Structure 1
Amino acid sequence: MSTPTAPAASPARRRPRLGAALLCALLTTLAACSSAGPAPSGVAVPDGELRIAFQFAPRSGYALDTDDAFVLSQIGSAETLVVAGPDGTAEPALAASWARVDPLTWRFELRPGVRFHDGSAVDAAAVVTALRWVTGVAAPPRALKGTGLIMAADGAAAVRITTAKPDPILPLRLTSPNTAILAPAAYTGSGPPQVLGTGTGPMRLTATDGTQSVTLERNDAYWGGRPALAKVIGTFVPDPSARALSFRAGDVDIAQGLPEPAVLELSGTPGVDVQTVPAPRTVSLFMNQSAAPFSDIRVRQAVQKAIDRTALAEQALAGAAVAASELFGPAVPWGSAEPPAPPDVAAARALLAQSGYGPDNPLSVRLWTYPNRPELPVLATAVQAMLKAAGIDTQIRVADYSTQEAEVLGGRYDLFILSRSYLTDVPDAAGVLSSDYTCAGSYNLDRYCSPQFDGIVAGLPGASDTAARQKIFRAAAARLVADATGVPLVHSQENAAARNVIGFRADPDGKRLVTAQLAKTG
């Protein structure tokens, strides 16, 4: 499961049809390629039942320390102390407020009167039990790794959390679905917490069928107001074409992650609301700087100038992505919405000549990627053609990511196209900047090392102000562009379709779908 962790979704927008003309010509079976307006608002059906085709299925028995926590969050069963707002700041959820007591200690006041689905109270003891479990597992979730959290009740309605070192973004860490608070009864067994009937969300999880389906019923005592839906039946459908087929057939009311042809078709269907939102994920071309030829910045700059990123987004991917000018895109408030610089093949050839490459000494490199995300081989083929026009020959290899990871991490590759979520579970970019681009970064695929860049990132541990942190993120991204550290190609987008539904909004961070406001109409 991909783990998007951006701030809460920005307003959903209808996908720009950048490549629509081409697709319309190909999709001859469609009646039309015009875009319908948003579905009518409708009137909520009292005690309605909703059916949803989810993109990702649970893989670990709904264990909170795994990505299955995102499923529990999406279906409206489990909740965290804090949620992330659209601007990337922390907002109250099960915690009504919080304050930093000293550099290592935070105090969280709990929302009064909240009860778990089993009727027990959400008090300090219950929160401590839940957080101690998730921080005590053998491999703590990414959002909490290395924090050294120590939890203690401060009366019945507050919790003190101490970190091993000053952590200005602890409230944002607690937005991770892995930190969801379940009832004490969930933790009485020896295995993962029991998720049936132990959450706090608008819907109570009543039945699961492995990786096939879930059934939820309304939590009438929900602290956020009585939910509009009486029941939700969710099915997990990993194949995007099958999700689209299920939606077309009317078997489900909402379908996530549809293939681009289906998005185009459904966008022209009256009564269907197709939403597309930018996702905090960038597909980048990584260049191994630890060896020739990409240890030479001129060669890296030549690759930068040879690639037409706008064409990749609008033509190769038919408008299913946004051309990237830098690492961070429109999914986050500090990301760039500026278009990338246009390609300059002549300048690319000149830079290669300065580096000693040309007709008498042609440059030939390996370009690797993986098929797990279907857009990656498509991009690899397009990039290969663009580099050839500039005088760089590439040999493409498409293989499962797991078979290539050791070689890529070890610097035994030339070019690698990778899709990467740049928020890594927390709506803050410090983690990915540190792990992927600092000299000591554990996932530094580019083998990039810049004292200037490390100096920029070094200011993050002491920056608690959101605006100050986002200023550092922007400066770091600009430094990567200046140093020709890889080539961000496109920013991904997430989509979903709904029919006869109100209160629905596609969420790129994969945390919210079923809410108290979601309702069936008609």
Structure 2
Amino acid sequence: MRSAHLHRCSVLTVVVTVLALFAACGRGPGTDGGTPVPDGELRIAPQFSPRSGYAIDTDDPYILTQLGVTEALTSATADGQVRPALAESWTQVDPLTWRFVLRAGVTFHDGTPLTPAAVVTALGHVAGVAAPPRALRGLGLTVVEDGANSVQVATTHPDPILPLRMSSPNAVILAASAYTGGAPSVIGTGTGPMRLTAVEGAQRASLERFDGYWGGRPALARVTTTFVTDPAARALALRAGDVDIAQGLPESSLLEFSAGSGFDEQTVAAPRTVLLLLNQSAAPFSDPRIRQAVARAVDRTALAEQALAGSAIPASELFGPAVAWGAHEPPPAPDIEGAKALLVQAGHGPDNPLPVRLWTYQNRPELPTLATAVQAMLREVGIDAEIRIGEYGTQEPEVLAGRYDMFLLSRSYLTDVPDAGATLRSDYACDGSYNLNHYCSPAFDSLVARLDTATDAGTRQDVFRAAARMLVDDVVGVPLVHSQENGVSRNVVGYTLDPMAKQLVTSQLAVTG
């Protein structure tokens, strides 16, 4: 683990750098209350920064939809209800084909109209990349024009939730000019209320109002986004009045932004779980006894109620109370003696502690805190965990390749579409693209395969519950806590925290004087 001195210096450097960035574009502290300012400017410090140059086939498009830059054919609620967006309606033509009727009067930021040809180009591109994004992978997706105002989207096998998949941020529709060469350009090619005008790497993005937005003229004239990975720096910038909205703040900071402080602090339960991943592809966690020892050693209630000061919910399995199919029962109590006995069986007694590496990242403020608490719990049973806190972007390739021991990860299981099938396949199927545990069970794959034909929501939820139970029985990592999302604003009208983390800037959002 890095020394405390080095960690403090690193954070201080980040804070100083970030404040310099904010000072270049900030307007200083504002006054609380007031009426919306015509043509106002909103300044945001989001929780995550772009890691892939806003490439449409990565996770970066989630930032674009949150900032109101891009839109897809459909949108969706957290409970999995699909809603019109750039498509005003859809029907199933046959078991493999769906027809989407496009909304009239939609204009791209470059002034060109939304046409079937534009949809064919956009979806054809993202479906044709070497590694399609999770929401669209394995579908064999093809798109063709169908008259003057519609397209047909087909798959190689029946997909009962295709309209829901079309709400994914990876399925956004860009203007034809975005595809003139190389990777698609998202500057000036979206359809949302805000037009992206400039980006400065992973540090800042500038947006302007799009007067031709089909949903009505936006209230904001400009949005400035400064990406800050350090949560302490985000809180400091908000406190100083250098930003209007800061997201993902540490629990210690939220106390000063509570009622009566002049800030609007919002916290919502989210379909997100902090998981302690265990690499099953190599020793020591290829041994199920050692995985079970870890599961018995961890006190999940203490993590939620003490380490995180009650800001999270202890987890008993992958899904939590934020969704209808999540478990509501308390987690199992820790079994210290049982954990020690399992380790002895695996060859690690009191005189032979098991050394492991525990990695995590600081983008989410709760993760380093949880890592330290888990380290202490594991030490009590004879597991010596060395903590390394780094950047997620540099850690992910190592974890995907199986070159790690333990990894503390915060995962939204409805990230791609509000249906857990996508996460179950990508994270736990034998050929899953995001199978960080390196778990493979033909029985699990067979269970999840039932989702290929299940159209009824209740039937799908039954599969989700059964899959979660199987993951617990096989000790596929250890679900620790279910997270809650938070955001704090000042002098902002119309800000509502989205538990799915897909929407922030809307045409109604405004700042006050």
Secondary structure, aligned partner of 1:151: strand
Match runs of 1:16-415 below 5 Å: 43-187=35-179, 189-288=180-279, 300-349=291-340, 355=345, 364-373=354-363, 375-389=366-380, 391-398=381-388, 400=390, 415=406
CA 107–325 in structure 1, closer or farther in 2 if over 3 Å, else same = same
Contact 1:88 1:333 in 2 (8 A): no
Per-residue CA distance 1:27-86 (angstroms, 9 max, x = gap): xxxxxxxxxxxx998643443332222333334443323333222212212111111212
Cα deviation, residue 221, structure 1: 3.5
How far is the alpha carbon of 1:234 from its aligned partner?
2.6
Shift of 1:299: 5.0
Q: Could you list the per-position Cα deviations for residues 78-121 of structure 1 after superposition, in whole angstroms to 9, with x for gaps in the alignment?
A: 11111121212321111111122112111111122222233332
Tell me how far 1:418 sits from its aligned partner.
3.5
Which stretch shifts more, 487-496 or 473-482?
Answer: 487-496
Q: Which runs of 5+ in 1 are unaligned?
A: 1-38
The secondary structure found in structure 2 opposite 1:237 is coil
Higher mean C-alpha deviation, range 251-260 or range 355-364: 355-364
Where do 5+ consecutive residues of structure 2 fail to align?
1-30
Deviation at 1:326, TM superposition (A): 0.7
C-alpha root-mean-square deviation of aligned residues, in Å? Answer: 3.2
Residue 315 of structure 2 aligns to which amino acid in structure 1?
A
Decide whether the 8 Å contact of 1:89 with 1:466 is kept in 2.
no
From 419, 425, 432, the equivalent of 2:423 is 432
User: TM-score by structure 1 length?
Assistant: 0.81
Farther-moved stretch of structure 1 (277-286 vs 484-493): 277-286
The residue matched to 2:326 in structure 1 has which SS? Answer: coil
Alpha-carbon distance between aligned partners in 2 of 1:462 and 1:250, rounded to the nearest angstrom: 52
Cα separation, partners in 2 of 1:460 and 1:126, compared to 1, 3 Å: same
Match of 2:470 among 462, 476, 479: 479
Report the residue type matching 2:173 in the other structure.
I
Q: Which amino acid aligns with 1:72?
A: L
Whether the aligned pair in 2 keeps the contact of 1:166 and 1:461 (CA below 8 Å) is yes
Q: CA deviation at 1:359?
A: 5.8
TM-score, structure 2 as length reference: 0.82
Q: Distance in 1 between matches of 2:210 and 2:397?
A: 47
Relative to structure 1, the CA distance from residue 58 to residue 417 in structure 2 (aligned partners, 3 Å threshold; closer, same or farther) is closer
SS in 1 for 2:276: strand
Matched to 1:52, the amino acid is I
Q: Tell me the secondary structure at the aligned position of residue 476 of structure 1.
A: helix
Change (3 A) 1:243 1:406: closer
1:499 shift after superposition: 0.8
Amino acid at match of 1:364: L
CA contact (8 A) 1:422 1:429 kept: yes
Distance in 1 between residues matched to 2:244 and 2:52, nearest whole Å: 27
Aligned residue for 2:8?
Answer: none
Bigger shift: residues 65-74 or 413-422: 413-422
Cα separation, partners in 2 of 1:214 and 1:304, compared to 1, 3 Å: closer
